[in-house]
Amino acid sequence: MRYEKETKPWTPKTSLGKKVMSGEITSIEEIFKKNYVIKESEIIDYLVPNIEDEIIFIGGMPGKGGGKKRTPLRITTRMHQSGRKRTLHALVAVGNKDGLVGIGYATGKDALSAITKATTQAKLKIIPIRRGCGSWECECRGAHSIPFKTQGKVGSVKVRLIPAPRGIELCVAPEIKKIIRLAGIRDLWTKSMGQTDTRINFVMANFNALKNLNKLKTTPESIKTTGMTEGPNKAVTRPEPAKEESEPKETSEPEKQSKEKETPKDTKKEEEEKTKKQDTKTDTKKEEKDTTKKEDTKPETKKEQKETAKTKKQEDKPTKETKKE
């Protein structure tokens, strides 16, 4: 956003906002399914963090060689007893480029107030958009265009949106491209009739045509052939709010000093205990080695000597018998 104010922590005031803040509702799709009314723009910021906005040029200044030079804001003046009073009109589009779009119109005494009011209105009027491939030339079942033809009308302006094959891109007016790109549509044909110079009616007619996509009844076969998707392809979910951890209490200076004094003593005691343990381990290992050596070096008893002598005699007997033979 070009004009930003200092953001304050959000405190929900409506029942829907409290449900979102507590974690009962984690995605914007749940709001659309349950038909909740969004009355706080912060709900959209909380559930759709990747939302973007665009200012649509609706103003005009007379050019040198005739015609109009488009400006982002429309300026109107009224005569009063105190003099001329000027008001500014702004039109803003909002979307996430993945199936969500909204348009807001507002007035204000300065540019900042008019644009901020229009963005909040656009967030409150955000809707899901059906996307697909309704072109007979493509039939790729991708979400790059719209699934079927639609119409929209505001005042004398009539607009018809036609699905286009992949690669055609947006064959629409330059200001209408901003809305359709924010909706996540990449290929589209349009046909307009009436006084399209009235920019606000022209923009709102295109928005009504996108809104009318959701009113048409569909069948399972048409959904398969067009690959239709409604809203974002991947539901954007907000993680559950973490529990607030208790903040550590502040300690006074004398307590800190006492702790600092105690810490070196504790560390010295711990080091001494560790050294003692290591010494005991080494002593036990040495004792085990000494015992094994003593067992190996013990002198043989008389009984063991006699048994060894008998075994040797028995081994020598067969050798003598073989010699006699």
Q: Residue 184: what residue type?
A: G
Q: Is 148 exposed, middle or buried (0-12, 13-18, 19+ CB in 10 A)?
A: middle
Position 155 pLDDT exceeds 90: yes
Residue 80 per-residue DSSP state:
E
Q: What is the pLDDT of residues 16-32, one digit of tens each?
A: 999 999 999 999 999 99
* Percent residues over pLDDT 70 in the chain: 72
Residue 237 per-residue DSSP state:
B
Q: What is the pLDDT of residues 244-292, one digit of tens each?
A: 444 444 545 555 555 544 445 455 566 677 676 666 666 666 666 565 5
> CA 316 → CA 243, 304, 306, 307, 322, distances in Å?
89, 19, 16, 15, 10
Position 93 pLDDT exceeds 70: yes
Please, what are the domains in the chain? 48-230 (3.30.230.10)
Residue 1's pLDDT band (boundaries 50, 70, 90)?
very low
Position 103 pLDDT exceeds 80: yes
Mean of the per-residue pLDDT values of the chain: 82
Least confident of 72-81, 205-214, 251-260, 279-288: 251-260
Least confident of 82-91, 107-116, 185-194, 305-314: 305-314
Facing residues of 158 across strands? 153, 193
* Buried/exposed code over 242-261 (b: 16+ C-beta within 10 A; e: otherwise): eeeeeeeeeeeeeeeeeeee
pTM over the 0.85 mark: no
- Please give the average per-residue pLDDT across 159-180, as a whole number: 94
Gap between the Cα atoms of 145 and 129, Å rounded: 11
Strands 188-193 and 170-171: parallel
Gap between the Cα atoms of 78 and 63, Å rounded: 23
Question: Hey, is 55 helix, strand or coil?
Answer: strand
- Please give the average per-residue pLDDT across 88-94, as a whole number: 97
Residue 145 per-residue DSSP state:
B
Position 185 pLDDT exceeds 80: yes
Q: What is the pLDDT of residue 65?
A: 74
If residue 124 lies in a helix (H) or strand (E), which one and from where to where?
helix 111-124
